[in-house]
Structure 1
């Protein structure tokens, strides 16, 4: 099995053309063509249909690339493990974190990583981007939102959900201290007056109908960075929509939480550790997950 040739085919599938893939690898386009042709000859299938619009996967090619990505991911893990054995160090842990976890939990956990004899590589982003990274084997697991009480999320992507930490399924309003909404006896009649900001997780949960049902404008700012979102809210009349954990980002004298009644409007979600279904967490990865869970529980115990 030639791992280099498998990685060539995967790159062509990702880039959508031989020329773009050749630049990314990098290698000459003619050499890349020979590499792909060699794979097609060895396995007796046609991987790509080549045309003016690029290289499009055939049905056989789609299945082949999925298997190749799994092989390459396993090979990278094995290489990390062998390197760790040779150097006497624990293997590298590659993990991802969603925007709330990145903003509220990671800063409290990262100092503890110094006591773990491992190398941690952290990627941040939306749930969708982290799912993509996990599917491609670029991270070992991620911590983000997952539907509560359903295995569809896991089975649809071939992932495993590890023990989760439960948070209220509610969505709340956050505004700056002194915002006009804090002075009203009820904020609900006045919500439509103010622009809305949120992360993609909140937008996905509420949807267009949800914002309308709550009397909110559709989000005019969407970004998966709660430092930016809370800065925006504390310096303007923007309304931030998010989960109760977001209140950990700013002291009460800077940002105020106003409860929304979203009962029956939202699918319950939990925080979950999501990994490949066939690959167990490493020892260092399990220790990290435990530290994240302990910190999550501590923050919510303080809030109760």
Structure 2
């Protein structure tokens, strides 16, 4: 069987046409290169090079063989580069899921960073609620998914990795009546993005209409909140642009006895080795959530 190392030595010698220069490029001694080419010629049963005082030149059989060998060497080097990039999480494909709320807050920024840093890594992302992401994880169609804690059913063991926390926010339009803190008997509709139980703060319980409207699309939720008196229960991190543009505002409420934050988790199958790309993405998500917390 032909040795790729010998073929690489052969292609370098063919390009340099001189044993001394080729040996220097390869980082080996000239006698070692000479022995390698002699061994290869013996293995093939024909001469690859004609030798003279000025150096070496390919024989007709040698030229045909080197042309084919160069393709093999180039493919092998490309495969090696591909493996290195895959090991570092910069090549290949990563398929994962993310729930709408963390997707709105994190996905544009983290994917911008990843595409600029690793343009050869293909990101295949599914944005759905946990009810749809869970079967995709179990069947192996996605490597992991990211969502708020407390939505995963009791099922096969999963690896749960905390990424950080999002604040629980009660979002309204900029000039919502509740922002004035004036006394009112008005009741307002509630918007949520999934069917999880919602614990309203005591100071909002008597001012809202139940049950809430469940709408999975965050663009629609943002538009409804900006154009009606509805109260959207989500996280300020997911609407940072709308808040910066003063389209939406956050109600100052008493959270007790409800929770004050969402823990954002990465869920993957317990016995499945995580890819380098997944580990890199986990680190980037963790850092981004930390940055959002520092800016808040």
Aligned to 2:189: 195
Q: Structure 1: how far apart are the matches of 2:145 and 2:124?
A: 11
Paired residues of 2:201 and 2:256 also in contact (CA < 8 A):
no
Structure 1: gaps spanning 5 or more residues: 1-83
| CA separation of 1:85 and 1:198: change in aligned 2, threshold 3 A | farther
1:299 aligns with 2:265: no
Q: TM-score, normalised by structure 2?
A: 0.61
Paired residues of 2:201 and 2:254 also in contact (CA < 8 A):
no
Q: TM-score, normalised by structure 1?
A: 0.60
| CA separation of 1:274 and 1:300: change in aligned 2, threshold 3 A | same
Q: Structure 2: how far apart are the matches of 1:154 and 1:238?
A: 30
Q: Structure 1: how far apart are the matches of 2:156 and 2:243?
A: 38
Q: Structure 1: how far apart are the matches of 2:122 and 2:81?
A: 13
Structure with the greater alpha carbon radius of gyration? 2
1:163 aligns with 2:162: yes
Q: Structure 1: how far apart are the matches of 2:139 and 2:222?
A: 32
| CA separation of 1:267 and 1:86: change in aligned 2, threshold 3 A | same
| CA separation of 1:127 and 1:260: change in aligned 2, threshold 3 A | farther
Aligned length: 209
Structure 2: gaps spanning 5 or more residues: 1-77
Larger proportion of helix: 1
Q: Structure 2: how far apart are the matches of 1:113 and 1:166?
A: 22
| CA separation of 1:214 and 1:167: change in aligned 2, threshold 3 A | farther
Larger proportion of strand: 2
Paired residues of 2:226 and 2:248 also in contact (CA < 8 A):
yes
| CA separation of 1:164 and 1:210: change in aligned 2, threshold 3 A | farther
| CA separation of 1:109 and 1:214: change in aligned 2, threshold 3 A | farther
Q: Structure 1: how far apart are the matches of 2:228 and 2:218?
A: 15
Most deviating of 174-183 and 257-266: 257-266
Greater than 4 Å deviation, 4+ residue runs? 84-87, 152-155, 207-215, 266-269
| CA separation of 1:155 and 1:218: change in aligned 2, threshold 3 A | closer
Paired residues of 2:101 and 2:234 also in contact (CA < 8 A):
no
